[in-house]
Amino acid sequence: MFEYLNGKKIIVLGIGKEGLSTLNFLRSKLKNISIAVADEQPLEKLSKDAQVVIKNDPSIELCLGKDYLKDIEKYDLVFKTPGIPSKKIPAKTNITSQAEIFLELFGNQIIGVTGTKGKSTTASLIYKILKDAGKDAELVGNIGSPALDHLKDTTRKIFVYELSSYQLENVKASPHIAVLLNIFEEHLDYHGTLDSYAKAKANITKWQSENDFIVFNQNSGAVKAIVDSSPAQKVSFSAKDESKFFQATKLKGKHNQNNILAAAAVASILKIPPAAIKKSIEGFEPLKYRLEFVAKRNGIEFYNDSISTIPESTIAALQSLAPNVSTLILGGLNRGVNYKTLAQKIIDEKIENLILFPETGQIVEEELKKIPSLQPNCQSVSNMKDAVAAAAKITPWGKICLLSPAAASFNIFRDYQDRGDQFTTEVLKLKS
């Protein structure tokens, strides 16, 4: 299957979860190759699993630390991990990835899901509907395990593959069923411009044929611009339409209606009966960190929406829980996103208290000052313990404290999961 890799000098660029999966795959499947690993982190900062593999195989060449890209041009093939910008790599370098190889090999068995927000929920919901219907399905990608971990029995499987813009950026193959949910400003620090970001997303349908399907949100202009040039059969959805699938679902908010409709559309393409689809949707539990109810303490309801890393997602969260949100915890890494619309939404929803993390918390505060209206009480913090303690003091009885940061987490936390876990831990420490 991968004979063309034999005899090649290969480097795995980025040795996180997917990079380690790639390294293990190459070592187990191919013998006549030279493998190197490159990562900006020194060996002692890599995961324990990665350290064990590297230390137990002295044949692996190491390119670690600040000069990790120095000799990359001497390799025949670079397996790039999502998150490392292509602009850092010399233009003539031969780049591939897990996503590209898996799509090329099993594209006709893949349901690919992408979008700025909602892809994890949608992919997980599609997977549940398929499993409930007795389909042989696997959940892979961002929400599942790395794709190359699933090569043991691929004959009849359906793969539900959550795909980020990072994974789609360089691929030259598309899935049989593509799902494109929405496109908002995000990852501009990586892609540079919104057009570049959208171009990466467009690869989910770019390589499809008339025998494939593209399921898309017809209310998104950016999505429709991509879909208009797609050769695939077009299946649209719109949350503006009423649907029996919205009844009794545990997923809150209009944005989740889009996710439900996208999943239902995929299931319909696969001839799953509407009654079965509805039953699976009703039994679907919301994912962690996505408008997740944590606890009620001293009459205050605490909700964890740490997955919200862009303003549009936080706006959707406020809409879902309005008008009971009194305190909003937000802010994080500045990626150059505009916060004007979120500031107006905070005013419109009459949010009383803002607890603000650097750097974007202060940007939101400045945007609020430009609006001639009664201003919320703003308090800056630098850690989650102080944020939750402050929220417990200032949130009125019977109201909601919502963590919905509208920004990436990396300036303070390891990732959005770490941020969400710290929030839950601190909330549960509060005495009733």
Cβ–Cβ < 8 Å for 209, 232 = yes
Higher pLDDT, 27 or 294: 294
Q: CATH number of the domain that 30 lies in?
A: 3.40.50.720
| Residue 152 included in any domain | yes
Mean local confidence (pLDDT), 228-257: 86
pLDDT digits (tens, 9 = 90+) for 78-125: 999 887 888 888 878 899 999 999 999 899 999 999 998 899 999 999
Beta-bridge partners for 52? none
Do 89 and 104 fall within a single domain? no
Q: Is the pLDDT confidence value at 212 over 90?
A: yes
Cβ–Cβ < 8 Å for 254, 118 = no
Confidence at 262, pLDDT banded by 50, 70, 90: very high
In 331-417 the beta strands, taken as DSSP E runs, fall at 353-356, 377-380, 400-403
Element housing 226 (H / E): helix 221-227
Do 80 and 109 fall within a single domain? no
| Residue 400 included in any domain | yes
Higher pLDDT, 376 or 187: 376
- 2-11, 163-172, 342-351, 396-405: segment of lowest average pLDDT: 2-11
Q: Is the pLDDT confidence value at 254 over 90?
A: no
Please give the pLDDT value at position 247. 78
Q: CATH number of the domain that 309 lies in?
A: 3.90.190.20
Please give the pLDDT value at position 185. 75
| Residue 300 included in any domain | yes
pLDDT digits (tens, 9 = 90+) for 294-337: 999 999 999 999 999 999 999 999 999 989 999 999 999 998 89
Higher pLDDT, 164 or 186: 164
Q: Is the pLDDT confidence value at 343 over 70?
A: yes
Cβ–Cβ < 8 Å for 292, 403 = no
Please give the pLDDT value at position 29. 77
Domain boundary residue, one of 282, 315, 340: 282
Please give the pLDDT value at position 188. 65
Please give the pLDDT value at position 150. 85
Please give the pLDDT value at position 2. 66
Please give the pLDDT value at position 34. 84
Higher pLDDT, 424 or 57: 424
Please give the pLDDT value at position 1. 55
Domain boundary residue, one of 230, 260, 282: 282
Please give the pLDDT value at position 28. 83
Confidence at 344, pLDDT banded by 50, 70, 90: very high
| Residue 206 included in any domain | yes
Distance from C-alpha of 392 to C-alpha of 306, rounded to nearest angstrom? 18
Please give the pLDDT value at position 302. 98
- 101-110, 133-142, 251-260, 372-381: segment of lowest average pLDDT: 251-260
Do 54 and 145 fall within a single domain? no
| Residue 3 included in any domain | no
| Residue 2 included in any domain | no
Do 119 and 89 fall within a single domain? no
Please give the pLDDT value at position 175. 98
Q: Is the pLDDT confidence value at 36 over 60?
A: yes
Q: CATH number of the domain that 209 lies in?
A: 3.40.1190.10
Dihedral Cα 134, 135, 141, 146, nearest 10 deg: 90
Please give the pLDDT value at position 321. 93
Please give the pLDDT value at position 298. 94
Do 122 and 247 fall within a single domain? yes
Range of the domain at 67: 8-96
Encode 379-396 in three state secondary structure: EECCCHHHHHHHHHHHCC
Do 23 and 128 fall within a single domain? no
| Domain tally, the chain | 3
| Residue 229 included in any domain | yes
* End-to-end CA, the chain: 59
Element housing 325 (H / E): strand 325-330
Please give the pLDDT value at position 378. 97
| Residue 287 included in any domain | no
Do 199 and 326 fall within a single domain? no
Do 164 and 26 fall within a single domain? no
Mean local confidence (pLDDT), 228-256: 86
Do 273 and 171 fall within a single domain? yes
Please give the pLDDT value at position 267. 97
- 1-5, 160-164, 182-186: segment of lowest average pLDDT: 1-5
Please give the model's pTM, rounded to 2 decimal places.
0.84
Identity of the amino acid at 283:
G
Domain boundary residue, one of 81, 96, 111: 96
Confidence at 338, pLDDT banded by 50, 70, 90: very high
Q: Is the pLDDT confidence value at 366 over 90?
A: yes
Specify the pairing of strand 292-297 against strand 300-304. Answer: antiparallel
Q: Which tokens belong to 379?
A: 């308090």
Higher pLDDT, 131 or 82: 131
Please give the pLDDT value at position 289. 93
Do 81 and 223 fall within a single domain? no
Do 159 and 222 fall within a single domain? yes
Do 305 and 351 fall within a single domain? yes
- 282-286, 357-361, 380-384, 419-423: segment of lowest average pLDDT: 282-286
